[in-house]
Amino acid sequence: MDKELTTRERRKERLDRGIKVRTEGIYAVSSWEEVAYLVLPRLVLIVGLLLLPLLIPALGFSPYWKRVVSIAGIYALLALGFDFLAHFVGLVSLGGAFFIGVGGYTAALLNKSLGLSPVFTIPMATIGGAIICTLLLLPALPLRGVYFAIVTLMYPLALMRIIEALNIFGGTDGILGVAGFPNTWIEQYLIILIVIFALFGLRRLVNEDIGLVFRGVKDNDQSVRASGLSITLYKAIAVFIASALGCLGGAYLAHIYMWSGISQFALDFSVIPIAATVIGGGGTLVGPLLGCFFLVPISEWLRTFGTLRIVFYSVILMAFIMFRSEGVMVYAQRKYHQFQRWVKV
């Protein structure tokens, strides 16, 4: 009888009830349990990324896998840019290789020609490369859908052949002797911190007023134009942000390998971020990031199978598309928000 009365005096309530007020960026928090509910996923992500360089040697992996973590971070920057453009602005970009190549060559040229250290070449290549990419893509901004995607795909292919045919920037040999990082710890933790900053910076951006304009450009650009806002301007801002992330990754890659060449225009830099977005969940930002840290190590491990790795790679992608088309992160977020607690009636 007492148990029945106790049950009648209480009811189940979702944990997120009463927390979200207007948007995902504004909350009304009244207790430490609600603070923990909001902070826990973010804390798990940050701590998990920061522990990766320490876990690799502890689990007995070879030093080669430390480099894989850095490469996964570079792909994560590309995936963040792709997800931002595709799901918040409506521009599907296949220009990951374009951004990587421009950033890599810019950083290498600054280092070899002017003798600048990575402390200066990486930020300069990020901003300078983003300006170059944005200016080159400016004529394509009125395009949408597959047409914009085709233009972004053609740039890395064209630049690769131009460098090869004219034998500029080192030709097929590339630019050798680029300065590297002092040690692997700086290399790994710097890229991880950059990825974390880029993730939370983009999340904040898309939840601000300018983020609402970006969504307006994606959903109904005519209404944005009717409000007196320039669609081309906001598309250019979005492309600059995405290309800055990619050029940052390219500059970082040049200093990791201490070399920059036409292989940085390879289509892997355009395809893998898209695959990571499919696996992680588009429109979440964090999903593509996690997808890269899952997909890039899997891709490296599958290299032992030679050409058969493409088969395994395709099977993994098809499985996610057919059985988890929304992405892992969307599914995990939905399940997390469905947790319930007992409250007094």
pLDDT tens digits, 230-242: 999 999 999 999 9
The per-residue pLDDT for 18 is 61
Would you list the domain boundaries of the chain? 2-344
Helix (H, G, I), strand (E, B) or coil at 294: helix
Averaged confidence pLDDT in the chain = 87
Structure confidence at residue 231 (pLDDT)? 93
Task: Encode pLDDT of 207-227 as tens digits.
Answer: 888 999 999 999 988 888 998
> Containing H/E element for 14?
strand 10-14
Residue 157 has pLDDT above 80, yes or no: yes
Q: Calculate the CA 308 to chain-centre distance.
A: 27
Q: Which fold has domain 2-344?
A: ABC transporter involved in vitamin B12 uptake, BtuC (1.10.3470)
Confidence of residue 163 (pLDDT cuts 50, 70, 90): very high
pLDDT of residue 321: 77
Is residue 2 pLDDT above 60, yes or no?
A: no
Of the candidates 194, 196, 175, 185, the residue with the CA atom closest to the CA atom of residue 264 = 175
Instruction: Note the pLDDT of residue 37.
Output: 78
Range in 140-144, 148-152, 313-317 the model is least confident about? 313-317
* Comparison of pLDDT for 83 and 320, the residue scoring more: 83
Cα–Cα separations (whole angstroms), residue 314 to 82, 285, 287:
20, 23, 19
Q: What pLDDT band is residue 343 in, cutting at 50, 70 and 90?
A: low
From its phi and psi, is residue 129 left (phi > 0), alpha (psi between -120 and 50) or beta? alpha
